[in-house]
A and B are shown apart, each in its own frame.
Chain A
Amino acid sequence: MSGYFNDVAVLARKDLKLELRARSTVPAMLLFVVAALVVFHFALPAESSELAAKGMLWVAIVFTALLGLTRAFVAEREQRLIDGLLLAPCDRSAIWLAKSLSVLGFLVVVELVALPAFALFFSGIDGATVAGVALADLGICAVGTVLAAMAVAGRARELLLPLLFLPLAIPIVVGGVGASVTGEPARYLGFLALYDAVFAIISWASFEYVVTE
């Protein structure tokens, strides 16, 4: 088991190193989420409710994550490097877990800017919203990474990922918005945790079949 997590650590560290060198994903995600929040700030009428504003936050998070997921397998796709990883004797689900963790890391960095920016433009962020965002991130990265790997194999990959991901992200938005706007967020947080657990297991088990020709 330690070998498995060692492989995950090696692969995730490689992704972080690539991002530090290329700086191609996180800056784009940051720019996107801040631009989206600015647009929403001016698009929503001044008298709009806090509920509407929270909805906008979730729209921004989901689409920013989608941007990161679109780039998740760029190196592996353009240089067929996925072959190099698949040839290695490590469990292939380690590739999924490592990639999910690196996408999660990028998303968290972006949200560390996005949430204060939201508080600045709209309203304060409470603990339930932060917990909802954290749980949603796990689900987004677990499901999104396996779908990104699936989309990479297809021809219309830029089109395929949103088509596959957005329907599966609907429960995340339902849970996230629910946790953010209701007085009793526990039910929605539990729903998000259940979603994370179910889809993480499905993604973990299916990754090998998704990436093999």
Chain B
Amino acid sequence: MIRARGLAKDYGEKHVLRGLDFELERGGFLVVTGANGSGKTTLLRLCAGLAIPTGGSLEVEPERGAIGFLGHEPLVYRELTALENLDLYGRLYRVPERRERIGMLLERFGLWDARNGRADTFSRGMLQRLALCRALLHDPELLVLDEPFSALDEDGAGLLDRELAELRPRATFVVTSHDPERVAHLATNRLAFV
């Protein structure tokens, strides 16, 4: 569940968000749209706990450890292999049966054969798939996804479509997309920034 009342975020003199009100029930799927620089990413960072509001209030349920976040950067160490990156996050999130879970996700996202390859040898699409594995590793209750389809080829995008549909009944979503039609069939709420 997410509840924002008069939510505001400033960076110095720049007012990125002002007086934002919205509510998303548990199990909801919020699609956030808007032009570049309109505050979509800032909203997602606030929801994920990576930023603190400068005004208003924001209640987010669940706690930080049950949030899966996919941002513009894949948040994986380039010098580590795919397996080492996921193992690092798996340990930090205390994922039960970590190795099995990592293996299953790598298999599902088509990265099993590349599991021992360093992330700095991956293409942009492979990095995005690895980032999705990282975001889903701890089976989050709330998924905060910033442009999840970016850099994915048709296969990858199809894979993500299926993954979102499968997770839809048991997770809450906040998703930004330049192609909102792609997730329109899943959406319960919409928020448009101007």
Question: Is B80 at the interface (CB under 8 A from chain A)?
Answer: yes
Stretch at the interface among B69-77, B104-112, B154-162, B180-188: B69-77
Report the bound CA distance from A88 to B49 in whole Å. Answer: 10
Report the bound CA distance from A87 to B45 in whole Å. Answer: 10
> What residue in chain B is nearest A75 (Cβ atoms)?
B77
Question: Is A111 at the interface (CB under 8 A from chain B)?
Answer: no
Within 8 A of B (CB), among A10-35: 10-11, 14, 17-18, 21-22
Stretch at the interface among A57-65, A78-86, A131-139, A192-200: A78-86
- Smallest CB separation, A28 vs chain B (Å): 16
Given A10-B88, A212-B51, A213-B52, A83–B71 Cβ distance below 8 Å?
A: yes
Per-residue interface assignment for chain A, residues 165 to 200, with 1 indicating a CB less than 8 Å from any chain B CB and 0 otherwise: 000000000000000000000000000000000000
> What residue in chain B is nearest A19 (Cβ atoms)?
B79
The SS class assigned to the A binding surface is helix
Given A17-B80, A86-B50, A7–B92 Cβ distance below 8 Å?
A: yes
CB of B89 within 8 A of CB of A88, answer yes
The SS class assigned to the B binding surface is loop
Q: Count A/B pairs, Cβ under 8 Å.
A: 76
CB of B50 within 8 A of CB of A88, answer no
CB of B75 within 8 A of CB of A81, answer yes
Which residues of A lie under 8 Å from residue B49 when comparing CB positions? 86-87
CB of B77 within 8 A of CB of A88, answer no
Within 8 A of A (CB), among B9-65: 11, 45, 48-52, 63-65
Which residues of B lie under 8 Å from residue A88 when comparing CB positions? 64-65, 89, 92-93
Which residues of A lie under 8 Å from residue B89 when comparing CB positions? 84, 88
Per-residue interface assignment for chain B, residues 91 to 103, with 1 indicating a CB less than 8 Å from any chain A CB and 0 otherwise: 1111000000000
> What residue in chain A is nearest B140 (Cβ atoms)?
A87
Given A213-B45, A213-B51, A89–B77 Cβ distance below 8 Å?
A: no
Given A10-B91, A88-B92, A83–B77 Cβ distance below 8 Å?
A: no
Question: Is A90 at the interface (CB under 8 A from chain B)?
Answer: yes
- Smallest CB separation, A89 vs chain B (Å): 3
CB of A83 within 8 A of CB of B63, answer no
Using a CB–CB distance below 8 Å, which chain B residues touch chain A?
A: 11, 45, 48-52, 63-65, 67, 69, 71-80, 84, 88-89, 91-94, 134
